[in-house]
Structure formats: C-alpha cells, structure tokens
Structure 1
C-alpha cells in the first residue's frame, strides 16, 4: 500500500500515517511498478509528482493519475523534467479552484503542457546521471545536517536526561530576570498596526524569526524611531528566548548577540533569563527536548482555550535547574555543533544552486 507525498515521493501508507487507510478490497486501486509515475491532482501545483524509485510493486489510490515513460525515453530524464522549475510553474497555471490548498489539475491539461523536445535516449541517460549525482551530493549534506541535529539532542539527554534530585525545581517565571517585564508578549490591537510598518528603522520580530527553532531573518519588518519610543518596553535583547504562541505554536529560538534594536510582535512570548541561574541555550534545549517540558506543554495546551499557548502557560512551565557551570559546558558543546552545521548549510546552499543551474541548462540543451 503506497501513498504520494510532496517532498518524499512514494512512501508506504503505513509509514506516512502510522496505519493502513485502505480497505481490504483494493481491486479499484492502481498497480504501480518500479519507474512508474503518479501525481496528486490537488497538489500538482506544489510539485506533488514523483517517480517510483523504491518499490518493485505496489498499489495506490485511484485518486492519483499514473503514467510511465514511453519507449525511447529515460525514466530518470522524465523525472527531472516533470520536477523542473519550469514545469512546476506551469502546473500552478493549470490548477483551478477557490480553496488554495485544494486547487485541482486535470489529466487533460497536464498532458497538453508543452515540454522541450527531448534529445536522444543516450543523451537523456547522460543528463539524468549528472543530475542524479548532483542531487545525491545535496542529499548527503542534508543527511549530515540531520545527524548534527540528532547529536545536539543526544548531548542534551546524556547531560540532563536524568536530573539530579539536588537540582532545584523552579518555573520559567522564577528563572527569568527579576526585572519587570522579563516575560512579555508584543503590542496588541491598535498599539501596532501593519500599516505602521516601514521600509527601514527598528526591526519587528515575528513567527518567521523563530519557526525553525533557531533564529533566522525572514520577512523584514520595521517601525519608525517615533513608534519605537512608544513601544520600547517590548524591546528584544541578545540572549532572549522567543517562543511562538500564535500560528505555529511552541517553536522557539535564542536571539543572537548581533541583533539590532528590535521589538517582538504579539505572536511571540519573549523571555529574558536571569543569567545567574540560566544559560539561554540550555533553556532553549530544555523547552524543545526535555520530557518534562513536553509533557507539561501537551497537558496545558490541551486544556487551554483553542489549544493554544499563552504567556501564563510559559511562565508556569517547570524547570529542573542544573548547575550553571554544567549549562555552560552544554552551551559550548552545542555552539561547536552549530558552527559545523552552519558550514554544511553553506555547502548545501551552493549545491542546491548548482543543481538548479544544471537542471535549467539540461532542458535548454546546454548541458
């Protein structure tokens, strides 16, 4: 039993949903062999089209149109062609419907899309091999980054997975800086309107800056100096912890040391820690990886109105506080992992750019 995903192509239905969804009678399902293709008509515009590389035989829902490369055409070449940026852009144009995530594409419109005249079979195979090799290099970099993420988790659990009884039990509110407003959300309602954003000035941080669980610049938003003076109490400082409490819930990031003057929006809860008790990088890891923290969040958000996070829930989160020296050792080790990860990410960006260039040239006859 197979299903089709946007990013990972064909996967076992049980692996994707942790259970079998199909009925016992699958006589209406489509038989899929190795190198066959299928696409999701409701998500074709997002690139939900794939070649079966992994399974010798399987069945897939009749919802998905299926096809295979005709004689004289290399399946690998066809795969790269149907996943090229040019064709994905064309899929978006043939999708119709009023619901953005459910715009449908018809088989007829798909088959009528124009494609470059393919070269000889031997040339197709050469092009497919080049693109496969470039894609393989990118995949190895992504795998290395995933291993480094797992290493950070392993370091945390090896050092703090079994808290000592001597470590004091506190809350986030108790480990925050004692100054007033150490835990705060951003301005609400008419205090800050989107119409007041400017092209430059003081930065405004939102969900996009923390959604990947590490700080990143997403959409740039600014307010004027005059507006900032009215909202200065919402200023974000280096080492603060940003927690998403609206939209995508429960993501968090540590504000970097080189942050310019900035405030946070109402979509974030910002925590300034008491540096005598807490290292920000450790609290960040505790929030994401501690069994105690995850259990608390599951229980409290389940009972909260609309299942959301709020500043009160963040304040009361339990924290078993290890010695500050141990937290600093953890932060040093994580910083070394992050430096290595940053190197891999830079190489990955170059490889992705190389692949995009090779793919573009391939279907213009320039490779």
Structure 2
C-alpha cells in the first residue's frame, strides 16, 4: 500500500499576520502573546513569546489571533522553522498559521515540515532577507498516510524528541561550565579593574566572511566547511552543514579562517537572545554574518579568548542593536572595544591545563548529542519514506485501506500515490 500525495493547499488553510504600530506603546502592553521569528526555535512547541500585545492592537492591525494547536511557519527569515502553539498567539507578517483539515494531524504535518526544513530554506528568495510566498507553500507536496498511521508516526517521533529535549537540558548545563570556571579564576567581568584590561581590537586580528554566489553550483560541491549561524551550536566547530570548493576561495571574497580562531555571530535574529561563540577546530570559512578573531600577541591565546567572550556574553547581548529589516546586529566598533582582562602568564598556563581536561569531557557530551540528533534525523527520513511504520502497516492493512478510501473521498481527489 502506498500513501496518497496531496498539495498542502488541499489539507490546510493559511492565515497571515501583521505588526501593530510601534508608535503606540499601549498596543504592546497587553497579555496576548505576539509571535515573531525570534520566538521560533528548534523546539516543537511554542508556549510563550518575547512580546505581548492587547486586543486593540489585533483589531487595528493585520495581526491575527491563532488558536492553540495550530502550526506556525516562518516564511520570511528563519526559513524552515516551524512550531505548534500550545496557547492562543497573535503572529506578525513573517509568519503564517496553518490550520489543518480533518484528514491530517497537526503534529504529523509539523514533523514532515521539519524533515524538509533544508529544502524550505533553499526555496527562499531575496538579497538581504530571504522569504517564500504563500503560493510556494500551498504547492508543497505532502505524503498523506491514513490517520491511524499518522498517529503511529507521531508517537515514535515524540518519543525520540523527548530524548532530544533531555539531551538539550544536559547540554545547557554543560554550556555554563566554561564561563563558571573562567569567572572562578579571573573574576566576574563586571568587577574587573579597567587598568588590568585592554580593548579586544589591540589583541586580535579580525576577519570577515562572505557568501559565494548560489547561482554557481561549482562553488557549492566541495568539502570546505562554510560556517553560518545555524552551525554555531557547539563550543568547537569541526564541520558545517554547507560546504564550498577551492574555486569559491579563488574567485570570491571568501577566505580561509585558520584553526584556533574564535568565531562569533554578529548579525541575525539569533542575537535577540543568544550570542553564538565557538572555537574553530579546523581550517574553515564563514559567512558574512560572522567574524573570526585570532590573537596577535602572547598576552592571551585562543582558549582564553574563547572563555572570555563566553563570560562576556551577557554584556555583549546588551550591546546588540537593530539593523535594516529589523534584524539584530552587533557592530564591529563595539566588538573591538570589548574590555579583555589580561592574566599573568602563570594563570594563563594554569587555565589552559584545566580547560584541556574540561574540553575532553565536553567533547564526549557533544558526541553523544550528535549521535542522538543523527538518530532523530534518520527517524524523520524513515518516517516519511514509509519505512518506519512498514511492519505496523502490514499488520493493520485492512483498516488502513478503509481509512485511505475515506481520505480520498473527503479530499475529492483521484488517488495519486506518493
């Protein structure tokens, strides 16, 4: 038995949103969650938002209140991000709400959209901010198994996602170890004596990144890591989702970043809540939303600088501003002015030794996380290829065929098979 294939427009209704006038602060003094791209993450559910509005704001704007239990999809910035709201939320114009019909479970559709998130991202069009149209969304092909099989798929993926959630909580704890160690040895940055610091710009060489033309496939079939914000989820970066070729290095403004450099995201919506900072574990390249910092003196080294910037992350976050199109930006001017505590050489060596042991522990944690994430991605692929529930399907064939017949009638479709 093969699944039906339908267009998304056949099984959902799509509703957009809007932004109440910023000139009226009263609009943003309510208790109604108002979702923007900065509220969407890799998590499955959305239960609250950073900003809230009132009923008057909804009445006098294009924003719409979306009842709990529907799918919220990013269609401008953050392409590929998708969640289900567990509370009623209003949405802005960069998001779309998908209201599922009776033939598909919202959680099933959510997992399927997550499985094609990279494809969704590639469909984006735009020079500065990439977006997709409602027409594009409506024309996506959706594999549609019977409802009972959808439920079975969701049950399996929910269990796998729960393991990811538990792993994420452990990761969050491990992320705080290095800054805590640094502060124990060198004190809280808020209490540093300014005479014992030097501006970052005097201690490092700074390097920008770039993006080879997506129109030239010869730039994108290589094995050179090309790091962007989506790769900055760990302390040490050895690889990336995207890769470029030697030709891209030769013909564009993209240059190598050497191992040991500190990578920091300086532009993007992720800066609304996080400052991604990592150590380059290998020679790689970066995109234009990032900077690479390399110590140019013996006063500090890469290990120390990495930990320093981690300890300064709250201060850095407070310096983030807003660039064009509403995206967040940390200006290079402020980056180079960051005060860096200059340790004694003895303290620096001691910190290196302790950090090395810590990195061994964190490396094991990272490997465990990566294995779990790979397993989840494999399950996603198998779920929507039909392989994951193949044996279960065979045991319930009669009921499934009846359900599929009801589906076809409900959709008024010819049984095109996936």
For the aligned pair, the TM-score class normalised by the smaller chain equals: 0.5 to 0.7
CA deviations over 1:39-72 (Å, ceiling 9, x no partner): 45846994565545x44xx4646986564663xx
Quick one: which of 101, 104, 127 aligns to 2:131? Answer: 101
* Matched-pair contact (CA < 8 Å) for 1:209–1:217: no
Quick one: which of 289, 294, 304 aligns to 1:282? Answer: 304
* Matched-pair contact (CA < 8 Å) for 2:226–2:286: yes
CA deviations over 1:93-135 (Å, ceiling 9, x no partner): 9x9998842522499x47x96643405x4x5544432222122
Once the two structures are superposed, the pairs formed by residues 1-367 of structure 1 within 5 Å of their partners are: 1-3=32-34, 6-7=40-41, 8=43, 11-12=46-47, 15-17=48-50, 19-24=51-56, 30=65, 32=67, 36-40=69-73, 42=75, 46=79, 50-52=83-85, 54-55=86-87, 58=88, 60=90, 67=99, 70=102, 75=105, 78-85=106-113, 100-101=130-131, 103-105=133-135, 109=138, 115-118=143-146, 121=148, 123-162=149-188, 168-172=196-200, 176=203, 183-185=205-207, 211-212=232-233, 214-218=236-240, 219-222=243-246, 237-242=258-263, 252-256=277-281, 259=282, 268-275=291-298, 277-290=299-312, 294=316, 298=319, 309-310=331-332, 316-322=337-343, 323-362=347-386, 366=390, 367=392
After superposition, the Cα gap between the structure-2 partners of 1:338 and 1:92, relative to the gap in structure 1 and judged at 3 Å, is closer
Name the SS of the counterpart of 1:132 in structure 2: helix
How far apart, CA to CA, are the structure 2 residues paired with 1:21 and 1:235? 45
How far apart, CA to CA, are the structure 1 residues paired with 2:350 and 2:52? 46
Task: Tell me the TM-score normalized by structure 2.
Answer: 0.55
How far apart, CA to CA, are the structure 2 residues paired with 1:171 and 1:45? 33
How far apart, CA to CA, are the structure 2 residues paired with 1:187 and 1:66? 36
How far apart, CA to CA, are the structure 2 residues paired with 1:145 and 1:116? 35
How far apart, CA to CA, are the structure 2 residues paired with 1:48 and 1:288? 26
How far apart, CA to CA, are the structure 2 residues paired with 1:352 and 1:293? 35
After superposition, the Cα gap between the structure-2 partners of 1:293 and 1:329, relative to the gap in structure 1 and judged at 3 Å, is farther
Name the SS of the counterpart of 1:356 in structure 2: helix
- Give the root-mean-square deviation of aligned CA atoms: 5.5
Task: Tell me the TM-score normalized by structure 1.
Answer: 0.61
Q: Which runs of 5+ in 1 are unaligned?
A: 177-181, 189-193
Aligned residues: 323
CA deviations over 1:227-275 (Å, ceiling 9, x no partner): 79xx9xx98654343456678997544333xx45x78899745423434
Name the SS of the counterpart of 1:16 in structure 2: coil
CA deviations over 1:277-305 (Å, ceiling 9, x no partner): 3242121121232279638x829999xxx
How far apart, CA to CA, are the structure 1 residues paired with 2:81 and 2:208? 38
After superposition, the Cα gap between the structure-2 partners of 1:130 and 1:335, relative to the gap in structure 1 and judged at 3 Å, is same
Q: Cα offset for 1:166? A: 11
How far apart, CA to CA, are the structure 1 residues paired with 2:248 and 2:80? 40
After superposition, the Cα gap between the structure-2 partners of 1:116 and 1:161, relative to the gap in structure 1 and judged at 3 Å, is same
How far apart, CA to CA, are the structure 1 residues paired with 2:267 and 2:388? 45
Q: Which runs of 5+ in 2 are unaligned?
A: 1-31, 211-215, 393-418
